Every structure is written in C-alpha cells, then in structure tokens.
Amino acid sequence: MAEFPGIEAAMAQLDAWPGVRRFIVGYSGGVDSHALLHWLANQRYRDWTLAALYVDHGLQAASAAWGEHGAHVCHALNVPFRVLKVDARPTTGESPEASARRARYAALAAELAPDSALLTAHHRDDQAETLLLQLLRGAGPHGLAAMPAAACLGQGWLLRPLLNVDRAELLAYARAHDLHWIEDASNTDTGFDRNYLRHRVLPLLRERWPAVNRTLARSARLCAETAAWLDEEAAADLTSVATDRPDCLAIPALQALSELRQRNLLRYWLRQLNLPIPDARQLQHILHDALTAAADRNPCIRWPGAEVRRYRDRLYAMPPLMPHDARQRVIWRTDTEGWPSLELPGAGQLRMQKTMGAGLRSEALASGALIVQFRQGGERFRLAGRSHSQELKKLLQQAGIPLWERERLPLIYLPSSPNFSGAGGGDCCLLAVGGLGIAADFAAEPSEVGWQLVFQSRTQNPQWC
C-alpha cells in the first residue's frame, strides 16, 4: 500500500475504535465506495467483521441492476451483502436530494448495533464541495463544518475515514487493482448544485489554487471547532431555561439571555430534538412573534419538518402535527399476552404495563375490552387523589397541558358505560385520561395488582397514568 500513503494513513485511524467490531460499508457501486470496500476486504487479519449494504432508492431505472452489481462484487470479495429498499419520496418543501439522504441514513441507522459502524467513502473533494454548498446557502459554523469524520448514528457510529484523501488517489487505487465500478450518469448532470461545483467551479479554483481541497478542508475543521464551542455554550444556557419536558423551554428564562445567545440556544435545542433548523427569517419569527406574544396568545411558527408553538410561558418544539379525527372510537381488547399496544392515528400510542400497587385495578379490566375515544365536551372526571369530580377541561388547564395536546389525549372508558360517547356525566366509568391520570374509583390499592397506562404522544415522551 506504500504507493497510496493517503489511503494507508487514513484507514489506520480505524484502529482508534476498539469498541467497534463490525464495519458496514455503505456501498453504492461507484468508484469511491468500491475502493473503500476492496481495501477493507483485504484486511482480514484485523479484529473486525465486514459487511456491505446498498440502499435502493428506486429513483432511477438502473437502481436494481446496481444492486445486482454490488452482490457480484461482494461475492467475489467474500463480503456479506444486502440491499435495503427505501421510500425516498420527498415531503412537502423537501428537495429530492435531501429526501433520498434522509431515507438512506434512516435505513442504514436501523442496521447498526452498539459495536457497529457505518463507513462511507466521502473524501476530501466531497468535503470541499459540501463546504462550498453550505457557504452558498448562507450557513453558519455548523453548516460550514461540513461532514464530521465521526458521528453517532442509530445505536452505532457513522465514520468517514477518507475525508483527508483526494478523489484522485482513490481513482488511482481502483485502477491499480483493476476494479470495475458503476458510473452513474446523473453525476455529470450540472443541473444539480453539487455536480455544478464539481465539474464547473472547482476545476477553475484548482487552476489558480491547486491546494484548494486541503484549504477548504482546513476551514471546515476550524468551523467544526467553533461549532463545538458554541454547542458547549448553548448546553450551559439550556440548563437555565429547561423545564420538565425536553421539548419545552421556559420563556422568561429564555428572554433573560441576549438575542445572540437565544439564537444559538434555539438552534442547539432543535438539533437535540432531531428537528430541522429554521432559516434566519423563521428564527426571527420565533424570537419576535412567539417570545414576545402575550401570555394568553398561542402563536405557531412552521417550517418544513418542524414547528414551534407557545402556550402560557413555555415554548414547545415538535414535528408537524398529524391530522387527527376526534370522532374516532376504538375498541381495545386483550390478547393471550395481555394488553397489546394500541396505535391511535394522529395522536400516539397506548400500552399497559402490569405492576403492583399502582395504576388501574385488575378488576376494572376484567372484561378484557375498553373503549378509547377523545374529548367531545362536557366530560367530568375524579382524578386519583382528588375528593370530588371536576370538568375535564378544567383539570387539563390546571395540569398546564397545551391546547393542541388536549384534543389528542385518549379517554379510556369501560364498555358497560351508559355514556361512553363521552358527552357529559358518566365520570364513574371514565377509567383514565392519557397523559393526565386514572380515576380515583378504579385506582389499585398498595397491595393490589394493577395496570399502569402509558401514553406515548406524537410530540413528547411517554406519560404514565
């Protein structure tokens, strides 16, 4: 390997990951991933196992044939290989490239165990292109940091060991070993921004500045250092504005920060929630519409893939709310193993967990069937620990549950209830309200077997009842 010192030095970094025992190559069939796979397959003396995965987006007619090519290559290298088919259709406001990338990494992340790492063949040319793309989009330090050499992915890791290797060296390696790879015709289409930079802009820059790849890669590393420092500052600020919910911030504490720190904190918070980062205009709306609104107003700022809402003195972030039919009514029945989890479209998931001295009494569930529906208005409920019943609307207000969550909270009734449509009265047979609690008349005694109800809404962590 002496004739390829860049590759040799770069791949030696893999020895710095002693906890990783399984490397999975994200194989596309192109020259870069083929060179990476070939190098790894010839390192059998190393203490690792190797596999390859090809993600078929189904966006091109030849995608299935590329998967067959991968199968032949991996068979010759004695490397296990699988094809993952994904739905890469873009959501509203999402570009086809972003949709394909999202679908690809979601599928690959699902394949990773804690001792596994996905290896991609991104190289220094890719890094230069990524930094320029982010610069032209007006990105800040996090965007200009381009691609990290290592990042968490699923339960494992995403590693890019070739980021300090030029495309030219990978191509020379592939030719020296007589590798046969796929040439994707779309890679020459300069209608795509990355291809335009690759084929039109970067060649001109190299004529004047031959070391442009190295220079841009160094800038990306410096931006990564700055981004890491900003994250440390934001993490410290987050402790001062945090609430009992990770998707919620205390607005008075947030307002006490300077606007620069508010912006940095909001971006960091949204990244921690795995939500898309808003652009400058949308971020301005959050700062000047949501934070300064009167406490009785409930503004909502939306952008593709996320939204931020205000309720009282709190700021909430979440994926876009799914359509919800409050008229739906579902029968929830036991099976041979107990109470199966129940999916509620647009609302979340219900499940039961057997326990002792908490939750609903087993007697209340003896029929093996429950009615699940949503608020219709006029319900009354005596919450466990309360001496009298109250209007459910008031209980939800007292609990500080935001308006958009109230209509999605499931109400669990006994089928024998004469009033299980949910309108008025009948509170004695309303067993529980997801996210709020259980009825006092049906609560398990300390010495009784009980069933705890768990409601996992679409917007927050599981809530025990």
What would the pLDDT profile of 192-247 be if each residue is shown by its tens digit? 899 999 999 999 999 999 999 999 999 999 999 999 999 999 999 999 999 999 99
**What is the reported pLDDT for 185?**
83
- Superfamily designation of domain 5-220: HUPs (3.40.50.620)
Domain coordinates of the chain in residue numbers?
5-220, 242-318, 330-464
Distance from C-alpha of 183 to C-alpha of 206, rounded to nearest angstrom: 24
Which residues does the chain have with pLDDT short of 50?
Answer: 417-428, 465
pTM attached to this predicted model: 0.81
N-term to C-term CA, the chain: 62
Any bridge partners for residue 355, and if so which?
450
Contacts of 3 (CB under 8 A, 6+ apart): 176
| Cα–Cα distance for residue pair 57/60, rounded to 1 Å | 8
Report pLDDT for 66.
92
For 242-318, CATH gives: 1.20.59.20
The pLDDT value recorded for residue 424 is 38
Phi, psi of 452 (to 5 degrees): -85, 130
CA 53 to CA 198: how far, in whole Å? 26
pLDDT, position 153: 94
pLDDT at position 94, please?
65
